[in-house]
A and B are shown apart, each in its own frame.
Chain A
Amino acid sequence: MERDGSRYKAFSRRLALLGGGQLGLAGLLMARMYYLQVLESDQYKMLAEENRISMRLLAPPRGLVLDRFGQELASNRQNYRVVLIAEQTKGVAETLDRLSRIIPINSHQRSRVLREVKRKRPFVPIKVAENLTWEQFARVNVQLPDLPGVQPDVGEGRFYPSGFETAHIVGYVSSVSEADLTGDPLLELPGFRIGKNGIEKLYDETLRGKAGNSRVEVNAYGRVIRELARHDGQSGDNVVLTIDSGLQEKISRRLADESAAAVVMDIHQGEVLAMVSSPSYDPNAFNLGMSNKAWRSLVQHPRKPLINKAIAGQYPPGSTFKMIVALAAMEAGIAGPGHRVFCNGVVKLGRSKFHCWRHRYGGHGWVDMKQAIAQSCDLYFYDLARRIGVDRIGAMARRFGLGEAFGIELVGEKDGLVPSKDWKLAVTGEPWQLGETLITGIGQAYLLATPLQLAVMTARLANGGMAVRPRLSRRQGARNVPGEGARPAVGDGPGEDGAARQLDSAAQPIGVSAANLKVITEAMSDVVNGARGTARKYKLDKEMNAKMAGKTGTAQVRRITKAERSAGGKLSKETPWQERDHALFTAFAPVGAPRYAIAVVVEHGGSGTYAAKLTKDIMTEVLRDDPLGRSAVGMSAGGRGKERKI
């Protein structure tokens, strides 16, 4: 008992020590609590919010692309999809089996779904099939009770109702690539599409709209618990084109499988009413995803469907260039309309011979300027070219829009080529040859022009020498939202229609004399309407009550050998397609009060008269359709210049 007393004392002392130490540790805990929950609390509160709140971007509806009459060229179509949520199914494989009895699911899709199920978290929806028909979609919906974990879903996809006809203008959208990323968070949204060509690309930012967002509460596994706030984005603005889709479609059909391009434009405003490049492709295929094989066949196709030949095809203008040469001579005061040349079919220059296309018939005999244009006498223009020189011809060509891109709202517009002495020396290192001046006079040598440039050239000849510029978009900013008025224009597109017209009416005069232009336009009328015109077979039909003026052109693809010339020089049916001459025709109508200019180029079409034949049909459609006579989007009815009516 006494012994226990000493142990008790020792125990008490030690217990005081232990208790004290433990109290100290408890104090440490409290200090830590105070530190975390009071001193550092704000920081941790923020971290907790960051943990739980996640921002989800909402893609805005893309703006529409409309034609001049409001017809949809690019629209948003509901994309019927079926997704699957693995954790809600009774076995993914079994669900797919059941689903494949309702909608087609191929083995490729099946293995992709099974692969994604393994990779993704079980509550993440996985796409099983998309772009279903309404009927398929409805069937899935009806059977839903038997398909736990399967969810029908309606997304939005781009759709081009007139796919083939407007592919080269409207372009297409496709998945965003690494190079497209600009910092706009929208672009990082899975499944987001961006304009890759044409108007879709050039006006991508206008059409894209502003992203909305949704603040959602998520748990540690990323599952969305609830939506806290939602801010709808702003849908993209519509873009209205100058194109008349009805006309576009008719011309496409007329060109059919030819490797060809046609441009129809308003000679006063520069509005491009139709721009067809043939053959074409289906832009919807780019959106839906294209197989490698399909892509290769498009790229390797000999008639190059992916190229917009109207702006990217460059051809020697051939005889369609003769108006420029004649005008250059008159403006230089070197030769008037009465200047006459005797054509016997051939002219010698040193040791070279330069032929007229009629040399086998002994030439044209005596021709003046109008006759030379109407009958397309080559010798006459050899003579003019020699007198004025290549540089003055080139200068006139540039004033009419050749040799330089207009900056039309498309991708891939080419400059064409107008040669000069300096240019040749700089590029080839060799001096200019006089012979080259001669063949420049008939639109060959180094000259290259796009069909668009030929249309603009014709428009400038027909509109009294105003430097009109082509354009494809009329107006942007009319949003696809009812009740909201048009917003101010974005980018370089014209704003309100009236202002736009004034702007274009202010197109600068080129500065050529009206009298000289009259000679040219009368000669062009003779090409079609004159007794000996090269396109006299392709006058407009009588009931049209209008006349067309134009100029044929036949552009050599390769040099004609002597043997061939002596053998007749005519193309035969045996000549391989790719060695045949290009056929060109430029036209305007109606003669007297012209409004429309057309350029048609048929690659390897044989001769200009073939292009003239197509142009007659196209011009007939244009005048019947008369897009400029009807009120377009954003115009007061009949607001367009009445004085220009026939």
Chain B
Amino acid sequence: MGRQVDLTLLQKLAQINWFLILLISLIAGVGFAMLYSAANGSIDPWASRQMFRFAAGLGLMLLIALIDVRAWLRHAYLIYAAALLLLVAVEVMGVVGMGARRWVDLGLFQLQPSEVMKIALVLALARFYHGLPLEEVGRIRWLVMPAGLILIPVALVMRQPDLGTAILLLATATAIMLLAGVRLWKFAVALGAILLAIPLAWRFMLHGYQKDRVLTYLNPERDPLGAGYHIMQSKIALGSGGLFGKGFMQGTQSHLAFLPERQTDFIFTMLAEEFGLIGCLGLLSLYILIIAYGYAIAMRSRNQFGRLLAAGVISTFFLYVFINMAMVMGLIPVVGVPLPLVSYGGTSMMSLLIGFGLLLSVYVHRDVVISRRPSYSG
């Protein structure tokens, strides 16, 4: 059994990986600096609120880290069910904002159920594969349930419409299934099916603006003042940053408003303009460090649930980083995915920190061994 598994609160706090928290805070700090610059050298309106949210999220993260990982296993399906219910609620009575129905008003605050689902889906899949022996994983009948777990929320999110989150959910789920041991050829089949579905999706599921974004990605000069404007200006900002950048608060593209959404999805572009390639590589290194740390934590866990949960959370994090950076650099079409911990926005900050809370919980409880079919009483 090795180490003792039931720790006191103080022991747990001592177990927390403070270096990871330092890395997270460093990236958030970069975010504050960029938001300060985005507001032309003012802490208001963005940096201050972002700091407040980060502080609150950090507290929540620690709280979650201290909760026993077995409790998360136990309530995984419940949380998933709640998230799914919220997604349905958004479909029925959500608030329309920016042309999409993504929010549900809970009186005190507005909640974005798709963000909750990012965590809930990881929990549910981790729990499912935790309970499944390796030899059973390959069976077709055991693919039905995860497929349902994945596709129902993906379909609901697509309807909002929120292509970015849908892709994120799908990719994270794929990563978890891959790590759980699903045969590689099955992914090949799924990929083939997706490729076949693309023309259909184009015809029936994608909205006009989404099609525009894809077409613009394929040819940014197609409409330099319309849909192609964002990506052209983003590339100009990035490229003009050069090796060392134009200096903090000296970005002409961002400060003269040529850069769209500079405080949210395109914040990386602003960093690239002001700090150049050096700054970009620095931030990317921080992200890679976190991801490597995350996977190390997953490897250290002595239970499959913890491993899959940690790896799932980190995969989501990686996807955020990759999709956002690839998007602003014109490698993939524009999808609404923020740069984690840096972009302005409360909801993604919260869901990311909750995810890191779970990761830390896995780390704190890494030596807990959980049987495939735990007795829920214990």
A interface with B by C-beta (< 8 Å): 1, 3-4, 6-8, 10-12, 14-15, 17-19, 22-23, 25-26, 28-30, 32-34, 36-38, 40-41, 43-45, 47-49, 51-52, 217-221, 225
- Determine whether the beta carbon of B295 is less than 8 Å from that of A7: no
- Determine whether the beta carbon of B252 is less than 8 Å from that of A18: no
Can you name the residue of chain A whose Cβ is closest to the Cβ of B280? A33
Partner of A47, one of B236, B281, B298: B236
A41–B179 Cα distance when bound, in Å, is: 40
- Determine whether the beta carbon of A12 is less than 8 Å from that of B299: yes
Partner of A3, one of B238, B240, B295, B372: B372
A43–B331 Cα distance when bound, in Å, is: 18
A32–B326 Cα distance when bound, in Å, is: 8
- Determine whether the beta carbon of A51 is less than 8 Å from that of B239: no
Chain A contacts for B180, CB-based, 8 A: 11, 14
- Determine whether the beta carbon of A33 is less than 8 Å from that of B277: yes
A196–B272 Cα distance when bound, in Å, is: 55
A25-B322, A37-B277 given as contacts; is B236 within 8 A of A51 (CB)?
yes
Partner of A221, one of B235, B257, B303: B257
- Determine whether the beta carbon of B256 is less than 8 Å from that of A51: yes
- 8 A-B pairs closest in CB distance: A44-B239, A48-B240, A219-B256, A220-B257, A37-B277, A10-B181, A220-B258, A41-B242
Can you name the residue of chain A whose Cβ is closest to the Cβ of B319? A22
- Determine whether the beta carbon of B238 is less than 8 Å from that of A14: no
- Determine whether the beta carbon of B315 is less than 8 Å from that of A14: no
A25–B288 Cα distance when bound, in Å, is: 11
- Determine whether the beta carbon of A40 is less than 8 Å from that of B239: yes
A23–B295 Cα distance when bound, in Å, is: 12
Chain B 216-258 near chain A by CB (<8 Å), digits 1 or 0:
0000000000000000010111111111000000001100111
Chain B 77-88 near chain A by CB (<8 Å), digits 1 or 0:
000000000000
Question: What number of B residues sit within 8 Å (CB to CB) of A?
Answer: 49
A218–B258 Cα distance when bound, in Å, is: 10
CB distance from B373 to the nearest CB of A (A): 12
A552–B256 Cα distance when bound, in Å, is: 77
Chain A contacts for B272, CB-based, 8 A: 33, 37
Asked if B145 is an interface residue, CB under 8 A from chain A, the answer is no
A7–B311 Cα distance when bound, in Å, is: 14
Can you name the residue of chain B whose Cβ is closest to the Cβ of A48? B240
Main secondary structure of the interface of A (DSSP, over half): helix
Partner of B291, one of A22, A36, A218: A22
Chain B contacts for A47, CB-based, 8 A: 236, 239-240
Asked if B13 is an interface residue, CB under 8 A from chain A, the answer is no
A23–B284 Cα distance when bound, in Å, is: 11
A18-B178, A30-B284 given as contacts; is B238 within 8 A of A36 (CB)?
yes
- Determine whether the beta carbon of B277 is less than 8 Å from that of A7: no
A40–B331 Cα distance when bound, in Å, is: 15
Can you name the residue of chain B whose Cβ is closest to the Cβ of A10? B181
- Determine whether the beta carbon of B307 is less than 8 Å from that of A38: no
A38–B315 Cα distance when bound, in Å, is: 30
- Determine whether the beta carbon of B181 is less than 8 Å from that of A11: yes
A503–B216 Cα distance when bound, in Å, is: 71
With most chain A CB atoms within 10 A of its CB, the pick from B181, B236, B288 is: B236
CB distance from A283 to the nearest CB of B (A): 43
- Determine whether the beta carbon of A217 is less than 8 Å from that of B277: no
Can you name the residue of chain A whose Cβ is closest to the Cβ of B239? A44
Partner of A19, one of B133, B239, B240, B295: B295
Chain A contacts for B322, CB-based, 8 A: 22, 25-26, 29
Chain B contacts for A52, CB-based, 8 A: 252-253, 256, 258
Asked if B351 is an interface residue, CB under 8 A from chain A, the answer is no
CB distance from B372 to the nearest CB of A (A): 7
- Determine whether the beta carbon of B238 is less than 8 Å from that of A11: no
Chain A contacts for B239, CB-based, 8 A: 36-37, 40-41, 43-45, 47-48
A226–B237 Cα distance when bound, in Å, is: 20
A49–B311 Cα distance when bound, in Å, is: 44
Can you name the residue of chain B whose Cβ is closest to the Cβ of A6? B134
25 A-B residue pairs with CB within 8 Å: A11-B308, A14-B180, A14-B181, A18-B175, A19-B295, A28-B326, A29-B326, A29-B329, A32-B331, A33-B280, A36-B235, A37-B239, A38-B242, A41-B241, A44-B235, A44-B236, A44-B238, A45-B239, A47-B239, A51-B252, A51-B253, A51-B256, A52-B252, A217-B256, A219-B258
With most chain B CB atoms within 10 A of its CB, the pick from A1, A32, A33, A43 is: A33
Can you name the residue of chain B whose Cβ is closest to the Cβ of A19? B295
Given contacts A15-B179, A29-B322, A44-B237, 9 further A-B contacts (CB under 8 A): A4-B302, A7-B133, A17-B178, A18-B178, A29-B284, A41-B240, A41-B241, A44-B235, A48-B252
